[in-house]
Amino acid sequence: MTQNPLDQLRPNHLPDPVSYWPLAPGWWISAILIITAVTLITLFVIRYIRRNRYRRQAKHQANEIFSAFQKHQNALQFANDCNRLLKQTALHAYPAEQVAPLYGNSWLDFLARKSGIKEFSGKSGQALGENRFKPMPIAKEQQEVDVDHLHKLTVSWIRKHHA
């Protein structure tokens, strides 16, 4: 009887299992791109947060001014405090040479122009202008300031101005 030639073959040799390491070049490139993207996004977010910190602080201060008004009920003091806060915020966001000399209608025009809010020329906005320095106005309606609207206007400018 003849031997079966298949019996003379060696057993099947299985290849080594595929290794996860070292990675193929495509994985290295993908890893580098992902790390770079995450780093850049993190840097942009940190930069955005730092750049707008003054806005958050100003909004908080505006709310404190409004709370103080609710205790003292002095509308003229509230208007002065809002004006001071807006000036401080503007000085932080824009060059001092551009902001510091502004007052009255030029100040109100600046506020309207930089935020796109045209209400600064209205009655509430006028409370931030030269009306603050006039002695007791003759007409009672001139004396009253719409504090709620002025507060909303102040917070809105802080949030919307283009720096």
For the ranges 31-40, 55-64, 143-152, the lowest mean pLDDT is seen at: 143-152
Contact 73, 141 (CB under 8 A): no
Note if the pTM is more than 0.85.
no
Q: How far does CA 21 lie from the centroid of its chain?
A: 45
Question: What DSSP string runs through 51-77?
Answer: HTHHHHHHHHHHHHHHHHHHHH--HHH
Q: With 90 as the cut, is the pLDDT of residue 76 above it?
A: no
Instruction: Give residue 21's pLDDT band: very low, low, confident or very high (50, 70, 90).
Output: confident
List the one residue out of 63, 82, 55 whose CA is nearest residue 163: 55
Contact 154, 82 (CB under 8 A): yes
Cα–Cα dist 123/142, whole Å: 9
Instruction: Give residue 130's pLDDT band: very low, low, confident or very high (50, 70, 90).
Output: confident
**Residue that wins the pLDDT comparison between 147 and 34:** 34
pLDDT of residue 154: 94
Region of residue 73 (left: phi > 0; alpha: psi -120 to 50; beta: else):
left
Instruction: Give residue 70's pLDDT band: very low, low, confident or very high (50, 70, 90).
Output: very high
Q: With 60 as the cut, is the pLDDT of residue 139 above it?
A: no
Contact 69, 127 (CB under 8 A): no
Cα–Cα dist 21/35, whole Å: 19
**Residue that wins the pLDDT comparison between 58 and 135:** 58
For the stretch 92-104, pLDDT in tens is 999 999 999 998 8
Average confidence score pLDDT of the chain: 88
